[in-house]
Structure 1
């Protein structure tokens, strides 16, 4: 089983070209799955897994209180894995066939209001860290980047005179995203005044650096964002992805074309982008309720 998992992960990395975060997710799911098959079902060979073994595993996840979304993701992992071993290991049957995903309600993404965004972007101070924080948050809100995409930006990806940034998203797919004037100004000030100080004597082409001159990490930025939100009196539990959601929602609320927003977000399927139209409609209902005299 261990060899099959390693071969599958290698396939995802080399042939499918999945991002590191996606690879890690597959690895976590399969470790849990294979451990169950070995310890609970006493199976030692991948060919011994049958449909009832998979159902037992999914029942265990239910007992552990896993959400429908988590179980659905696990089923997707299991299906991909079994399809791979049928193809590559000449296994005669696919034990994951006809395993149905639980029905899940698609939750609307949480977004920041325009005043909350303005408060979050009201970063004062001219220290290198202040300028970096301002540039990072302005960039996230101006482009709708995923946090992994933001942290992967290199200095050469910037085209400030032209007013855009080049991004490599999921699967290494390139896209070009415009930058607003506020983001352009914040990035330019950071690159000119703060980044050389943070870089020290290091050689690093990453755009955003920590105080040691190394690449900014997800955990590091998360802490920065939470601290800034708290300092501005924002009581919502803010995440980096909430800025991506806010970027898309605010564009659509102001009349942006859905296809254009899809392109900027890097969604392969427009149905993924359409969730933000529901957020906009929900917001309109709230506004109507708050301001209409007979609502």
Structure 2
């Protein structure tokens, strides 16, 4: 068989869904990656389960598609799991990865975050919307609340849209978050003004989702609304929800929050993932050195 059958990939996704309790977002990513490989493989002359095709596909990703190193590694990891499953099911004799040694590109880019002045512009605009008492601005108020939550506790956009009113504890400001791999964690909205507004918003209507009426907001909907809101606030350049997560992490570190606390806040499994935010700017470095006053402390 020189071409890959759609049933093989769809059956694999079905088994993942049944056996590994993966989130819908992760399952969609698997489906997207396998569909891309299926399209590529079926247009080639090599057998779809050959090492030669895997090498050609990786070259296609890195050279023709100019895919980011992280994307290449994710797609290859998806294919490794796919072929490992096919071998276990007896559908192929051996995985094409068994005889391959791949040297995949690595990168650890610094996360894109808003500058502190731009973060101030965005939060100021959000507070102004929330203070507006005119009719017809409810949708903007919901978005303003979402922006302040994203910035204050660094949620992923996929976590934001899964929030329910029952996840919020008004007294302590606790917020139950469903993260990657359906792992739950508890974060805290410590700003009293935001806690009060969030409690009032929840009490104002009976809804199953914190953001959305009969159905939750989609992640794409949040991205689209945020992009316009940020532009109206005077921020130049595209602003995404994940940038707000990066901004929260970066500014909290600059303000002295411990890396381990930040790891728990962001829901990272490993502190090495959180450590990527420990990229201090010139101003932060200068403040730290001035505060330390090393030479003065060594003066006789």
- Length-normalised TM-score, structure 2: 0.83
What is the aligned partner in structure 1 of residue 108 from structure 2? 106
SS at match of 2:155: coil
Is the aligned partner of 1:231 residue 2:241?
Answer: no
Residues 58/163 of structure 1: CA separation in 2 closer, same or farther (3 Å cut): same
Moved >4 Å (runs of 4+) = 285-288
* Range with greater deviation from structure 2 (121-130 or 158-167): 121-130
What is the aligned partner in structure 2 of residue 166 from structure 1? 176
What is the aligned partner in structure 1 of residue 284 from structure 2? 284
Is the aligned partner of 1:27 residue 2:31?
Answer: yes
Cα distance, 1:131 vs. partner?
A: 2.1
Is the aligned partner of 1:250 residue 2:251?
Answer: yes
1:75-86 superposed matches below 5 A: 75-86=76-87
Residues 156/226 of structure 1: CA separation in 2 closer, same or farther (3 Å cut): same
What is the aligned partner in structure 1 of residue 142 from structure 2? 132
Deviations 1:141-163 (A, max 9, x none): 12111101100001111111121
What is the aligned partner in structure 2 of residue 53 from structure 1? 53
Cα distance, 1:130 vs. partner?
A: 2.9
- Length-normalised TM-score, structure 1: 0.84
* Range with greater deviation from structure 2 (162-171 or 116-125): 116-125
SS at match of 2:94: coil
Cα distance, 1:57 vs. partner?
A: 1.9
**Residues in 1 aligned to 2:246 and 2:24: alpha-carbon distance in whole angstroms:** 22
Aligned residues: 273
SS at match of 1:54: helix
**Residues in 2 aligned to 1:3 and 1:283: alpha-carbon distance in whole angstroms:** 56
SS at match of 1:165: strand
* Range with greater deviation from structure 2 (89-98 or 129-138): 89-98
Any stretches of 5+ residues in structure 1 without a counterpart? Answer: 289-295
Residues 8/131 of structure 1: CA separation in 2 closer, same or farther (3 Å cut): same
1:64-213 superposed matches below 5 A: 64-89=65-90, 91-97=92-98, 98-122=100-124, 123=126, 124=128, 125-126=132-133, 127-181=137-191, 182-193=193-204, 196=205, 204-209=207-212
SS at match of 2:177: strand
**Residues in 1 aligned to 2:68 and 2:156: alpha-carbon distance in whole angstroms:** 24
SS at match of 1:175: strand
Any stretches of 5+ residues in structure 2 without a counterpart? Answer: 289-300
Residues 262/13 of structure 1: CA separation in 2 closer, same or farther (3 Å cut): same
Cα distance, 1:281 vs. partner?
A: 5.0
Residues 184/101 of structure 1: CA separation in 2 closer, same or farther (3 Å cut): farther
